[in-house]
Structure 1
Amino acid sequence: MGEVQRGNRLLSNRTIAVSAVVLVLVVAVGCWVLLALYGRGTDADQARLESVRTVGTIVLGAGGFIALLLAARRQQTAEHDLATKRNDLLLREQANADARHDAAERRISDLYLKAAEQLGAEKAPVRLAGLYALERLAQDNPAHRQTIVNVISAYLRMPYEPRADGEHHRACREEREVRMTAQQILTGHLAPAGADRERFWADLDLDLGGAVLIDLKFHDCSLRNANFARARFLGQTSMLGIKFRGSTRFDDAVFEGEAWFAEAEFTDSTRFDGAAFLADARFDEATFFGATVFRRARFHGDARFEKTEFAGKVIFSEAVFSGNAEFARASFADEAYLPGVDFGRDARFVEVTFARDGWFINVEFGGNTDFKDVTFSEDVRFTGCTLDGVPYRPAEWKPRPEYEDLD
């Protein structure tokens, strides 16, 4: 080790000075010898001196060229060493970043697993702690929000009977509080117009198919795809101003209390096939941009579609309106099909616009029916319609000549 250090030791100032003196002496001696040999001034001596000078110039030029090559080589080596060091630094930084990322992911996974385990706990306070832990985890880690929303939704889809007696009454009440908290976590983070924009979780899908939901309030929320098929809505359901930006399903859903969808927006296809509204249902000023299906829907209370805009195809076939049906100033921009609909009480279509086909085939009207100032555009039919058992066609309806023979 000592020999290696001595071999790589730098030249001292004394060695450099001695070498310079020796070099000067060698040059002086060389010049003296040249002058002694060829310094007599004859033409031959001058020619020899000129030859020596030329050879010296060539040698000096070659030496300079070699020096340039050595300098370029040193520069290349230095740049290569610098690039190597820089690359090594980047690799170390990337390794450190990967290590930090892996540590963070492990921490998130540990927290997630712990919170998920808490949701399965027997005691309600532990389940509540698990929900709040998941909420905090989703708030701090946007990439995991959809997964956590899926977990909370899966919890709400678990079987639950809200009415229990005896020894199960307390457990049922505690579970109700846990479920209400889960709903509030979802609704609190799905409203972009809230006071705290950072709490908004954007571009999420929601799957609550078959869930039991209690007094659900999705005011001014924004969802992508939403599935509420076979869901059971207890108490009042309020989705005022909600925006469904993807497909929306309420197939066979049951609304046991009032259902409010006023000013809601349904961007894509919307299905209420077989949905049951046991109390009043309000869709005032809602907008349906895609195809909308209320096939075999049952409205046991009043149904309000006042100023509702149906931009896509609408199907109400075999729907039952046991209460009043209010469609005043609604607009149907595409085809509207209402075959086999049963209006048990009043049905108002005042100032309604049918821009395309409208089929009222085998419709039963049971109360006051009003089509005042309605606008019929294309193929509109009232084939087989009855009012209190008597054949019925509104006085305001005049069939277009090309369709008159079809009715």
Structure 2
Amino acid sequence: MATPDRPNRTTLRAHLSKLKREHPHRLAISVLIFIMGGILLIGGGYPLAGTAWSWLWLRNQAGDVVVASLGVILIVLAVARVSSSTWVERAKLGPLIFAAWATVIALVVTLVAGVWWAMDTPAWMRPPRMTTRMLLDVVTARVFAIVAGLGGAALLVIAYRRQKSTEEREEREATKLFTERFTTAVRQLGEEHAAVRLGGVHALARLADDAPDDRDDLVQMVIDVLCAYLRIPYAAAPGPRSEDTNDEQAAEHHRRDLEFSSFREVRHTVIHIIGNHLRDGTKWCRMKYDFTRVVFDGGDLNGAKFFGSKVDFTNARFTSSPVSFRNAWFSGDLVDFTNTDFSASAADFTGARFLHTTADFTGANFSETTADFTETNFLYTTTDFTGANFSETTADFTGARFTGGTVKFQNIGLFSTTAKFRKARFTGATADFRGAEFFGGTVDFRNTNFTQAIAKFMAAKCFSGTLDFREARFTDSMADFFLVEYIGGMIDFSSTNFTRTTALFTGDNFIGGTVDFTNARFASGTVDFTNARFTSGTVDFTDAVFEPPPTGLQEAIDKGEHGAVIRPEQQQGTNNQNGESEDPRPPD
């Protein structure tokens, strides 16, 4: 339930936003007055702290009272000026002049009172007896000063109103001109001839470039139109013409082919213009882009910088001609690739940067293609591939950097997929593969570095594929393989280094295949095999080092199938009197 003062705060924020956009000088003056009032309030109010109960009764505190009161008045005036900023524009000239005179008089009185107080409030001294001529000169000078001051204030008000009127008139003319140019350019986009439509695209781009720096709304309006043009449905390219077509059918095929080609040329030009502006770091970078359901059959977004609050590729399709996001920058609130289809084109994000954002690839389709995220940098970003389709795909994250944030591959099915995370670095990040299913193919984490990170493979299933962690390093991290099922295939932890890391293999089921812990090193951490089941296949702990010993491993070996486990030296039986090794587990 909203608090009673919420509408007031909302109204004040709205006034501040409007002032900043339309009248930045007025907001700056108001802030300056507010700061001056605060300084005076502090300067005058601080000496009163120790005499809170007696300051009204002490003569030597009168100046502090005046200064503190003046500070309060200025703060109130500043707030009132912000919240009623449009009064100056709406008021007539006469009331404005009288308000200016009142301000000048108040300022003079305040200055005189301040000087009097700074001089330790001297007593009023009767002026010496003056002749009539002298008195006339004094009165004349004072009157002239007063008239000059009031007249100057009136002239300032008049000049301000005139300047304001001129600015408003120029703004109206600029808005009118923009509207006329915008209407003409949009009308050109609807023309039949491709050349006219191309002219409209370039006219819109130039119009956005000419927009004032403080009018992002005009730039956004142009971009919205260009994105909407890309979303317009169009007829697909006609197939190859059969040899037995007559002249009429051949002419129709030719017409459709020309229509498709011309429409595609205009669309490619729109993408090209957007890409150029985003690469050049213009004000286009901070805008929002809506590419929902757009078909990308060409164009280039290589090096584009998306810094707006949202970039939306939901349900977009990338067809035979690849669109590159190589070295692109994505920031803002959301980068949305939900249900985007890359199956007919390579998805190239090599060297891209996702900075403090959410990259949503939920349900994206990468089947039978290449998803290249080599050297991509995910900085404090939540990247979600939940439900994405990587069947028969090469997903390459080699050398990628995950700093903070989370990358999610929950419940995905990797069927005959090659997923490379070789030499990737997870620093303070979470790699979430909970519930993932690996059918054939290879998931490669060789030489991957996990530092203060979390690797979650809980309830994953590995069927007849290879999950490779050779020479990976887990430092101050958690490796969670709780309830994982190893059914055939190869799981390789050989030479993997777990330092000050919690490695959980609790409840894992080793059924067939090979799980290799050869030369693995577990140092200064926790390793837990409680309730693990070694039922068939081979689990090799040759030359593995556990410091301290693992929890539950011996119990799991004792309960498992004899010969399924090749144990580390620490788990081997001791030698008997004849120097022969004793196996602590009874034979079958």
Alignment of 1:294 onto 2:388: no
Structure 1: distance between partners of 2:455 and 2:347: 29
**Secondary structure at 2:318 match in 1:** strand
The answer to whether the 8 A contact 2:464-2:488 is kept is yes
Q: 2:422 aligns with which of 328, 335, 341?
A: 328
Separation (CA, whole Å) in 2 of partners of 1:385 and 1:163? 48
Confirm whether residue 285 of structure 1 aligns to residue 386 of structure 2.
no
2:243 aligned with 1:169 = no
Residue 85 of structure 1 corresponds to: 155
Give the Cα separation in 1 of the matches to 2:466 and 2:370. Answer: 19
Match of 1:347, SS state, is strand
Q: CA deviation at 1:152?
A: 0.9
- Aligned-partner Cα distance in 2 for 1:241–1:379: 31
Aligned to 2:529: 404
Task: Report matched runs for 1:8-407 at 5 Å.
Answer: 61-141=131-211, 142=213, 143=215, 144-165=218-239, 166=253, 167-192=255-280, 199=282, 201-224=284-307, 225-234=310-319, 235-246=321-332, 247-255=334-342, 256-267=344-355, 268-277=357-366, 278-289=368-379, 290-299=381-390, 300-311=392-403, 312-321=405-414, 322-333=416-427, 334-338=429-433, 339-354=435-450, 355-359=453-457, 361-376=459-474, 377-381=477-481, 383-388=484-489, 390=512, 393-395=515-517, 401=526, 403-405=528-530, 407=532
- After superposition, the C-alpha distances for 1:344-387 in whole angstroms (9 at most, x for unaligned) are 32322101234323215333354444321122432420611334
In structure 2, how many angstroms separate the alpha carbons of the residues matched to 1:335 and 1:398?
22
RMSD: 2.6
Q: Secondary structure at the match of 2:339?
A: coil
Q: Which whole-Å CA distance do the structure 2 matches of 1:134 and 1:303 have between them?
A: 38
DSSP 3-state at the match of 1:74 = helix
Aligned residue number for residue 572 of structure 2 = none
- Counterparts of 1:190 and 1:381, CA distance in 2: 43
Query: How far does the alpha carbon of each residue in 1:79-128 deviate from its partner, in whole angstroms, 9 at most, with x for none?
Result: 43343234323322221121111100111111112212222233322221
The secondary structure found in structure 1 opposite 2:296 is: strand
Q: Say which one has the larger Rg.
A: 1
Q: Please name the residue that 2:35 is paired with.
A: none
Q: Is the 8 A contact 2:189 2:201 kept in 1?
A: yes
Please give the secondary structure, in 2, of the residue aligned with 1:325.
strand
The one-letter amino acid of 2:311's match is A
SS in 2 for 1:202: helix
1:160, 1:212 within 8 Å by CA — same for their partners in 2?
Answer: no
72-81 or 300-309, which deviates more? 72-81
Amino acid in structure 2 at the alignment position of 1:158: I
Alpha-carbon distance, 1:314 to partner:
1.9
Q: Structure 1 residues 368 and 362 mapped into 2: Cα distance closer, same or farther (>3 Å)?
A: closer
Query: What residue identity is the alignment partner of 2:284?
Result: W
- Normalization by structure 1: what TM-score? 0.77
Shift of 1:181: 0.5
Is the CA contact 2:464–2:513 (under 8 Å) kept in the aligned structure 1?
no
The alignment's TM-score, normalised by the length of structure 2, stands at: 0.55
- The Cα shift of 1:249 comes to 1.1
Distance 1:202 1:295 in 2: 28
Query: Judging changes above 3 Å, is the alpha-carbon distance between structure 1 residues 133 and 97 closer, same or farther for their aligned structure 2 residues?
Result: same
Task: Name the SS of the counterpart of 1:190 in structure 2.
Answer: helix
Change (3 A) 1:393 1:151: farther
Distance 1:373 1:157, change over 3 A: same
Shift of 1:343: 4.6
Aligned amino acid, residue 316 of structure 1: F
Alpha-carbon deviations, 1:276-299, whole Å to 9, x = none?
124111101111221111112123
Q: CA deviation at 1:189?
A: 0.3
Cα offsets for 1:257-316 (capped at 9, x unmatched):
111101111121111111112411110111122111111212343111101122322211
The answer (yes or no) to whether the contact 2:436–2:457 under 8 Å persists in 1 is no
- Distance in 2, matches of 1:251 and 1:357, equals 24
CA distance in 2, matches of 1:406, 1:207: 51
- Taking the aligned partners of 1:146 and 1:344, their CA distance within structure 2 comes to 47
Q: By how many angstroms is 1:64 displaced?
A: 2.0
Which letter maps to 2:164? Q
Q: Distance in 2 between matches of 1:116 and 1:245?
A: 30
User: For residues 148-175 of structure 1, what are the alpha-carbon distances to aligned partners after superposition, in whole Å with 9 as ceiling and x for unaligned?
Assistant: 1122112112223443352422211111
Q: Say whether the 8 Å CA contact 2:408–2:431 is kept in structure 1.
A: yes
Q: Relative contact order: is structure 1 or structure 2 higher (C-alpha 8 Å, sep ≥ 6)?
A: 1
For the 8 Å contact 2:237–2:256, the answer to whether it is kept is no
Which runs of 5 or more residues in structure 2 are unaligned? 1-127, 240-252, 490-510, 533-588
Distance 2:517 2:469 in 1: 8
> Which amino acid in the other structure matches residue 204 of structure 1?
M
Give the superposition deviation at 1:241. 1.0
